[in-house]
Amino acid sequence: MSGKLVPIRTYVGVYAVLMLLLIATTLLDYLNLGVFNAVIALTIAVIKMALVMLFFMHVRYMNRHNWLYVGAGLFWLSILLALTLGDYFTRVFLPGPFH
């Protein structure tokens, strides 16, 4: 952190937004939107992840050099997810002996 003191009001505001997103995620579970349930839930999860990283992990207040490492970590995570999904979507699921 670059020596800046973050006001408590910022933490309370981010916490309130996180709680609202938690309620939205919970209410979303009761709606049947088909495949869009997962898309919306993952979008809300990414927003929550970004808020936690930026404010509670103080990434927002780091110098720009450290942003390179954060970006590299997110890039590596996207590579791992892409490879995992590529494997999953190209598999052929054969029926088992009891189906």
Tally of domains within the chain: 1
Q: Which two tokens stand for residue 99?
A: 């189906």
Closest of 53, 62, 59 to residue 3, by C-alpha: 62
Residue located via tokens 């937004």: 17
Give the pTM: 0.75
Residue in this structure with the two tokens 């494997």, named with its chain if needed: 87
Distance, CA of 50 to CA of 99 (rounded, Å): 43
Residue 57 lies in a domain: yes
- Say if 98 falls within a structural domain: no
The domain of 37 spans 8-89
pLDDT tens column, 56-98: 999 998 888 899 999 999 999 999 999 999 998 898 888 878 7
Report whether pLDDT(99) > 70: no
